[in-house]
Amino acid sequence: MTARIGVAKQPMNGMRLTVRIDLGSGAAIGPGKIRLLEAIGKTGSISQAGRSLGMSYRRAWLLIDDLNRCFRAPVVATRPGGAKGGGAALTPFGRKLIEKYRAIEAQAASSAKRQMRDLNVAQQGQARPARKRTRTLNRPIGPREKA
């Protein structure tokens, strides 16, 4: 398992730190999956949680299925629909996963605060002007002339 720090909750001029934890065999936990879990905890529904984050039900379901397969214990338990409707709820392990991730994120942000501040200072006033982009148009060249 490796942790990759990318950016967390202390925006400085658009600069932020996020944390992604690679679990091996292609599986990972990052801010998007954690936000989805938090939304499921609030709404009690995978589809509502997905909609609140601007993602399709299918995408939300695939992310939850991936998380449920990553660990020995599931992170979300689902109830099939019916007359009383279905739903989803965080398991105790799912709540603990959010808590652990947020603790790792807070520790990483705290540890990186000074370096982030230094990067922010180095970035201010140092930005190069954007290069003017030219657009290339695909124009037909015309019929070939015979030699």
For residue 103, give the CATH number of its domain: 1.10.10.10
Query: How many domains is the chain partitioned into structurally?
Result: 1
* 14 pLDDT tier (thresholds 50, 70, 90): confident
Q: Is 59 contained in some domain?
A: yes
Full domain range(s) for residue 44: 2-121
* 126 pLDDT tier (thresholds 50, 70, 90): low
What is the amino acid identity at position 114?
R
Q: Is 57 contained in some domain?
A: yes
Q: Is 11 contained in some domain?
A: yes
Q: What is the pLDDT of residue 39?
A: 97
| Average pLDDT taken over every residue of the chain | 83
Q: What is the pLDDT of residue 97?
A: 97
Q: Is 134 contained in some domain?
A: no
Q: Is 110 contained in some domain?
A: yes
Q: Is 128 contained in some domain?
A: no
